[in-house]
Amino acid sequence: MRKTTLIVVGICLAGSVALGDSLTVNNIPYSNVRITDVAGLKVSYVMSGSIRQKSLTDVSFVVVSSNRDFNKAEDAFKKGKAAEAVAAYNDAEKNAGTNRWIKRLINYRRMQAAAAAKMPGQAIVDWLAIVDETGASRSAIALGPNAVAAKGSSENAKAIAMLEKRIGGKEDPIFRAKVRDLLLNLYQTEGLKDKALMLSGSAPVSETPGTSARLAAPGTGASGMNVSVGQSARQLQEAASQFKLGNYDAAVADIEAKLNRFSSADLPGALLLHGKALQMSYKKAGSKDIAKLKRAGLSFMRAAACFDPTTPEAPEALYYGAMVSRELGNGVAAANALRLLVNRYQGGKWAERAQQVLGGGGQ
């Protein structure tokens, strides 16, 4: 009888432990609670019959009685085994079923573990899930993990691909600024100098040794004096006239001399024309000066990437930028740019031309 009683008691105690969750908040452990929800970067739980909430940013350790893999991940993370923790969080996610709140909890905890493990790809995936779940709340945006792996890592490539998809479009400006900062860090780690320069808005318009021309704020001259819209438009028209006459080098020189004086409305057009003039000058010279073609590609991609995607010149610039990449032998970059063009500007003239190139229908 005594043996039977002990077995029953043991079963009951085991059951009570299995049913209890726990949280460590600001280094204070809360045991025998029941987590009921995770949303908006807050965890809701029942303790002593009362419903309470805590910010996830204050939580350092969690035990979820219904998910053994999650608890394994938490133990590994607590011991400083971040990569092992990420793998366990992945298993926990697979076993979460339809439980949405635990998936949101996994996103948050795995993001931190992935950043610690120098796995920026996974960290960015989880961060973006958090941003979307919270409707791009300021607190969620601030969590953006500024983590990088070793140069050449597939994790860096994954993070870059995810962020590049979100840098365009009509996203929240604060979110876009955060994405820009994260991308710059990754570009610099990978040695992607041109992309970093384009994203920062300081790409050189000349490759003359010892110079590094930088753009002033759109609509201001080198002295900071405002330039009128009419004056900016006339400057662009002058360069366009030189281009139409076949004076490509003159058009290039004209734009470069006045680049800091174009208004924000005319600057994308000036960059597009600058790229076209360089490209034509390169072809006119018998394709001898490869530096001109590289500069043309840089101007095209700046016009496509440094302004809102709805800018009229953006699709054309993206197309010609892809063609330059193709001519320079970078087929992967060209194909990626063409696919982006097809997806972003579906039905448009330049998207149709991009589709023809992708389908082998010519340029």
Taken in order 334, 340, 343, 346, is the CA torsion positive or negative? negative
Query: Which strand ranges, in their side-by-side order, compose the sheet holding 28-39?
Result: 50-55, 42-47, 28-39, 21-25, 59-63
Mean pLDDT score, 81-100 = 94
- Per-residue pLDDT reduced to its tens digit, 36-45: 999 999 999 9
Question: Which distant-in-sequence residues (6+ apart) come within 8 Å of 214 by Cβ?
Answer: 202, 204
**In the chain, where does the domain assigned CATH 1.25.40.10 lie?**
225-358
Gap between the Cα atoms of 154 and 158, Å rounded? 6
CB half-sphere exposure, 74, CA atoms < 13 A: 20
pLDDT given at position 323: 93
pLDDT of 66 > 60? The answer is yes
> What is the chain's Cα-based Rg?
27
303: amino acid identity, one letter? A
Of 121, 90, 119, the closest CA to residue 106 belongs to: 90
pLDDT digits (tens, 9 = 90+) for 255-304: 888 877 788 788 899 999 999 999 999 998 887 788 899 899 988 988 88
pLDDT digits (tens, 9 = 90+) for 308-323: 788 899 999 999 999 9
Question: Mean pLDDT across the stretch 224-228?
Answer: 38
Tokens of 164: 């590049």
Residue 137 above 80 pLDDT? yes
CATH architecture of 225-358: Alpha Horseshoe (1.25)
